[in-house]
Amino acid sequence: MTTELSAEIIDRLVSTAIQARGRAYAPYSGFSVGAAVMGESENLYAGANVENASYGLTVCAERVAVFNAVAHGERIIKAIAICSGTEHPAPPCGACLQVLAEFAPKSGSMAVILCTSQGEWAESKLSDYLPRPFSL
């Protein structure tokens, strides 16, 4: 299912995610990921995965991008693009899905764009990956 993002916004998100992937710190897994989120203001915020020798302290690119947006005052994330170096786009992990759900529009219609480092992408909605998020 697709959302109503313009081609221009998708291109900006994908480009920003690809650039962010280049800044990933992944010396242990070699699996670099970049992400870009668009807040309600339509500003974009980037994130890259950051690994740590104590593996449990590693943070995924998706969460870094969301936390960057929140640190800049955003409280609603309308869209995310996630770029990995894999042949086929990789979806977010469960922890990232739950964090995304925390900041999704009330309608649950956050756009999720998965892309490769070559710029190929596929669009869906957060609810396709997490139909029943935990909430209080």
Give the active site residues: 62
| Residue whose C-alpha is closest to residue 84's, from 33, 120, 119 | 33
**Contact criterion met (CB below 8 Å) for 15 and 38:** no
* Vertex 66: Cα angle to 102 and 63 (nearest 5): 90
| Residue whose C-alpha is closest to residue 124's, from 109, 111, 108 | 111
